[in-house]
Every structure is written in structure tokens, then in C-alpha cells.
A and B are shown apart, each in its own frame.
Chain A
């Protein structure tokens, strides 16, 4: 005959709830968290550096920043290579958007179009923030060091 002891039932229910509560946290653990943090950190850094060069109207150097976004993208793809396919499928379009927005900044720099540069840089900043938001809090990088003034 099954044992319907209420104390035992409560303990079992509590254990089940505890396991459920832990599940999302476990799902957020990444296989190479340091590499992911490192790769993610490059994006806001390049966004800030791009802004500094825009302020100095250094159009010639801006396409070079696009190259650094590509380096960050490659590092990020490598760092999440072992993650579940569903997670990679979520990140991939966000990363493509970052790459495309970065290319748009480089294109506007070639045209010396300050208004377009500002718009495209704002779009890049937003897409980088969306990319970072797709990752768990445990791998979020610290913000880049601000200019010393």
C-alpha cells in the first residue's frame, strides 16, 4: 500500500520545487565562461573607442574599428562553440546584426558623413547591448574604462 504520509509528501514536494528553481541557473552555466566574458568585453570597448575617434573626426581610423568588431565576433563564436544549438541559434542573428551595424559605421566613415556616423554608431551601441543581454549575468563583462578626461 502506498505511503501517503503528509510530512514525507511535503518534503518530496519541497525537493521537487528546489530542483525546479535550480534548473534555470544550471541552464545558464556556460562551458567557457571566462572566454565568453572576454569576448563580450571587446564589443563595448570598441563602441567606446569608435566614439572617441568620431569625436576626433578621425575618419581614416574608423574602418579599422570594424576589423576589431570582427575579431571580437570570431572570439565570441569560438567561445560558445560548445553551447547548445538553441543558444547559438539565439545568439547568431544578434551577432550578425552587430557585424552589420559595425560595417555601416565604417561605410559612413568612408563618406565622412557625421550625421550618418552618429546614427549608425547609436545603432551599433544598441545592437551590442542586445547581444550582451542574450547572455547570463554570470558572464557579463565589466563596462569599459571611461576616458580619463
Chain B
């Protein structure tokens, strides 16, 4: 066996190991982590900003801050599955209290923060869904008519 053959074999082995380890890295690649920040627009029933974006599959930490100064009504941030905005709001507007999302509406919800009091901040973690535009709303009765926005999930 020539010296050259041995070097070639070793080189191939090293390259093969490198390729395997890279493939392994790809398989266990940690998801992209994204932090999104959103608040109420002061005491206005609106989100600020009302448009967010993140890549699909990202591990999202969304922080919602209640920036109200006078009105003590709580807020939350609820991400809806596509096509459910009207049905969800119809139920939310009729809800007698703001403490729970009705059980039959939970299937419409992809992610939701807990209710947030004035000048507090709450957080929810979720994996960003498939690419597309997703409505988000405040589920407190009547708020979602003006307090809503869009999360754009990119490929």
C-alpha cells in the first residue's frame, strides 16, 4: 500500500466524518428564537404595533405590555387560526366576563397570553405556524373590534 493511498483513505474518512457531523447538526438544528414586543396603544383600544412578523418554525416569545394609564380594563393577545376572526369576535363580544376564552372557541386559538392588567407585561411562547397571515386580537368583550392586528409568518 502506497503512502498516497493511505493519505487518501484518511482524507476520505475525515471528510466522511465531517459530512456526517454536519448532517447531524442539521437534524438537531435548534429552532430560531424570536422575541416579539407589542403593547396596547396607551388607553386606546388598539395594539401598537398592529403588525408583527417572524419566520415559520421559529420559537417565539411574545411579550405584551398593557400601556394604559387611566382605564383599568385588562387586555390579552390572542393569535387565531386562519378564517376564525369573525366567529371568534362574535363570541368574545357577547362574553359576560373577560376571564376566560369560551371552551368551544379554544380550537380557534393558536396562542394566547394570560390577561394583563394596567402597566403589567405578560408573555406567551409558541412555535410560529406555517407561512401566511394570521389575525391577532384582544379577547376582552368588545375590544377586538378595534384592538387587532396581523402576524405575518414568513417561509
Contacts and interface: CB of A to CB of B under 8 A. Distances in A.
Interface of B is mostly: loop
B146 A68 contact: no
Nearest to B72: A71
B24 interface: no
A39 B146 contact: no
Given A45-B43, A145-B44, A71 B96 contact: no
Interface in B124-142: 141-142
Contacts of A71: 70-72
Contacts of A145: 44-46, 146
B96 to A, nearest CB: 4
A30 interface: no
Interface string B25-66: 000000000000000001111100000000000000000000
Nearest to A56: B93
Report the interface size class on chain B.
20 to 34
A53 B96 contact: no
A111 interface: no
Report the interface size class on chain A.
20 to 34
A57 B71 contact: no
Interface in B69-96: 69-73, 90, 93-96
Contacts, number: 68
Contacts of A56: 90, 93-94, 141-142
A148 B45 contact: no
B45 A68 contact: no
Nearest to B98: A61
Interface of A: 38-39, 41-42, 45-46, 48-49, 52-53, 55-58, 60-61, 64, 68, 71-72, 75, 144-148
28 contacts: A38-B70, A39-B70, A42-B70, A42-B71, A45-B44, A48-B146, A49-B142, A52-B142, A52-B145, A53-B141, A55-B93, A56-B90, A56-B93, A56-B94, A56-B141, A58-B96, A58-B141, A61-B97, A61-B142, A68-B71, A68-B72, A71-B72, A72-B70, A145-B44, A145-B46, A147-B145, A148-B146, A148-B148
Which 8 interchain pairs have the tightest Cβ spacing? A56-B93, A60-B96, A147-B145, A52-B142, A75-B70, A53-B142, A145-B146, A61-B141
